[in-house]
Amino acid sequence: MVVQSQNNNVHNNVHVLVIPYPAQGHISPLIQFAKRLVSKNIKTTFATTHYTVKSITAPNIAVEPISDGFDQSGFAQANDVQLFLTSFKSNGSKTLSNIVQKHQKTSTPITCIVYDSFLPWALDVAKKHGIYGAAFFTNSAAVCNIFCRIHRGLIDVPVDDLPLIVPGLPPLECRDLPSFIRFPESYPAYMAMKLSQFSNLNLADWTFVNTFQALEGEVVKGLTELFPAKLIGPMVPSYYLDGRIKGDKGYGASLWKPLSEDCINWLETKPSKSVAYVSFGSMVSLTLEQMEEIACGLEQSEVNFLWVLRESEQEKLPKGFKELIKENGIIVTWCNQLELLAHDAVGCFVTHCGWNSTLESLSLGVPVVCLPQWADQLPDAKFLEEIWEVGVRPKEDENGVVKRGEFVEGMKVVMEGEKSEIIRRNVREWKKLAREAVSEGGSSDKNINDFVDQLMKKDRNGNLSGY
């Protein structure tokens, strides 16, 4: 059954406002959640910063600007994490409150704010106006589990006693720990932001996590000891999963201009499953040494590859590299990752293991070579290799660098041979389970429907019936 993106039968007594942290990896899953709500006839508005508001092109979703205090270019303008976060809390709270007040005077006042968990102050705004608030975690249930326990004093940082044992998780060695935990003194502002997600979580009316029951069912058993997590993922465009939202082939939110036509045309010339797609996301910056090892590894592997690399990162490539690999490689600044992962020519994904990329690789059934760099990417890589068994993670040397020999060996394991067949079989199964989760009657679909139903059951006093 195909659901139109929106019809006239909107439930006028419900209006959900969705607000992301203004980074690509946060905007994408939250705009996708907004589209899911719209497909269920819930009026939905998306509120994002002035700098990112023009990047939102999703149909049937109203977009409102809020201020982080740096309206020209956001974080790049602030150039300081703590300054940006402090400014965003102050300016964001005021402008978000203004949006709520503006809509109060209309026939469709806002009844609930779904906010990125990085922005706990948005819940304070919701409660100030007497409306519901729902936290949305854009990372895995495993990562939520770890940081919530740190916030509650159940895990001491830095972690000295290894492996780290967390309910519902496999034992975590040093290389599996988020970098904020391995080196807390290196990222104090980010660490504080990760922990602040749980500062007022007990006041939230719902808590959503972008994962699904089949994927992290064991982890969730440990997580629900801490808070009532509702799994609603994977938040990947419907076209690649259940197909119930008509025309939903992309997120409808890109901070960069993709070069999809060039990429697809190049892929069309390559045999099935012969191309390694290489991308480290929008934030990762590789060291000069790691860049050289990957570049030389790709050249030595003789595998066809398409490498997405920001212009600032391309300056780190070995001299003459582009000329050297022009027969079997192409380097672009940005692309539509979903289109590439869905293409028959792509045989593996060399990834930093960000959570969105992790969910996309599973949802589209693409094996992975894991090269995590920082933050939550390290535990994500652990699960991809050891728990879900859909790829390999090459070993780092004593300086944390994956050498070209290790990298080439990892590529071979995923792209050819007996182990490759097992990996491909596993990832096809995860693709099937991801589709089932968001399809009608699936575990994630039921949780979204429950949210919609509870919003609809307000009594005359504005209370949630039976919640």
The catalytic residues are 26, 116
Beta bridge partners of 392: 369
CA distance 294 to 316: 11
Task: Please tell me whether residue 329 adopts helix, strand or coil conformation.
Answer: strand
**What's 306's DSSP letter?**
E
Ramachandran sector of residue 43 (left: φ over 0; alpha: ψ -120 to 50; beta: rest): beta
Distance between CA atoms of residues 288 and 292, nearest Å: 6
- Whether the link from the prior residue into 234 is cis, omega within 30° of 0, is yes
Q: What residues are paired with 65 via a beta bridge?
A: 48
Q: Which two tokens stand for residue 402?
A: 């994956």
Q: How many CB atoms lie within 10 A of CB 316?
A: 17
In angstroms, the CA 256 to CA 242 distance is 27
Number of C-alpha atoms within 13 angstroms, CB side, residue 274? 11
Identify the CA nearest to 304 among candidates 343, 334, 246: 343
Beta strand residue intervals within 344-383, DSSP E: 346-351, 368-370
CA distance linking residue 175 with residue 171, whole number of Å: 11
What CA–CA distance (Å, rounded) separates 305 from 331? 8
- How far apart (Å, rounded) are the C-alpha atoms in residues 238 and 230? 20
Question: Cβ neighbours of residue 187 under 8 Å, at least 6 residues apart?
Answer: 179, 180
User: Is 394 within 8 Å of 406 (Cβ atoms)?
Assistant: yes
Burial class (CB in 10 A: 0-12, 13-18, 19+), 265: exposed
Phi-psi map region of 84: left, alpha, beta (phi>0 left; psi -120 to 50 alpha)? alpha
Residue 82 to residues 24, 129, 188, 435: CA-CA distances in angstroms? 19, 27, 9, 39
Asked if residue 391 lies in contact with residue 385, where contact means CB atoms within 8 angstroms, the answer is: yes
Whether 107 contacts 87, CB under 8 Å: no
What is the distance between the alpha carbons of residues 136 and 397, in angstroms, rounded to a whole number? 36
